[in-house]
């Protein structure tokens, strides 16, 4: 937690944090590092930088855990959605196969009816020819309807 330099309000969480290490090493050979955070005051809306203490780092760890849980929940939701979509795809493929079989059956029925009609038309033409011969009418003459 840090205080706003403008109004003195306590700000608990940083908008962004990063690690800073100075260019020079310490006397004992270790490069000192510390974290700096970018804060936004809820009262005066000013943004400022400040060194982040351990409490804020601990809050960030909790935030990471919360984010990890959210990612896990999202993963589970996506897994369920994927499972649902696979089931739906399988059902649609099954329905597609059934429809294709029905179309083939309808084609066979249609071909059968077409063949039957062709046979009937051929018989009717032969009947007309026979009746014209019986009546002695010229084959070229058309009867008025």
> Which pLDDT tens digit goes with each residue over 74-92?
999 999 999 999 999 999 9
CA 58 to each of CA 17, 23, 61, 65, 138: distance values in angstroms, whole numbers, following the listed order: 12, 27, 5, 11, 110
Q: pLDDT digits over 42-57, tens only? A: 889 889 988 886 444 4
Q: Does the predicted TM-score (pTM) go above 0.95?
A: no
Say if residue 101 is exposed, middle or buried (CB neighbours under 10 Å; 0-12, 13-18, 19+).
Answer: exposed
Residues 6+ apart with CB under 8 A from 2: 10, 11, 37, 39, 50, 53
């Amino acid at each position: 937690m840090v205080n706003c330099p403008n109004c003195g309000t306590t700000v608990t969480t940083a908008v962004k944090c990063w690690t800073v290490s100075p260019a020079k090493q310490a006397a004992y050979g270790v490069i000192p590092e510390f974290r700096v955070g970018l804060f936004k005051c809820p009262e005066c809306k000013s943004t400022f930088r400040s060194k982040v203490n351990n409490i804020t780092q601990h809050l960030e760890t909790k935030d990471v855990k919360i984010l990890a849980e959210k990612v896990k929940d999202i993963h589970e939701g996506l897994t369920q959605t994927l499972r649902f979509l696979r089931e739906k795809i399988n059902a649609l493929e099954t329905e597609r196969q059934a429809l294709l079989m029905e179309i083939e059956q309808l084609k066979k029925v249609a071909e059968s009816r077409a063949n039957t009609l062709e046979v009937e038309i051929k018989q009717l033409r032969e009947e007309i020819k026979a009746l014209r011969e019986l009546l002695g009418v010229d084959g070229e003459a058309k009867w008025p309807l």
